[in-house]
Amino acid sequence: MYAAEVAVDTALGLCILALFLSLLEKAITMQVLVHSAMGPQGMFFLLGGITLVGAVFVWFYIKETKGLSDKEKKQLYTPKDLLEADEAEERKVQYK
Tell me how long the chain is.
Answer: 96
Query: What confidence tens digit (pLDDT) does each residue in 26-84 have?
Result: 888 888 888 889 888 988 898 899 989 999 998 998 888 788 887 777 777 777 777 77
Asked whether 65 and 73 are in contact (CB, 8 A), the reply is yes
Model confidence pTM above 0.85:
no
Nearest to 62 by CA among 77, 74, 47: 77
* pLDDT at 4 exceeding the cut of 60: no
Supply the pLDDT for residue 7: 59
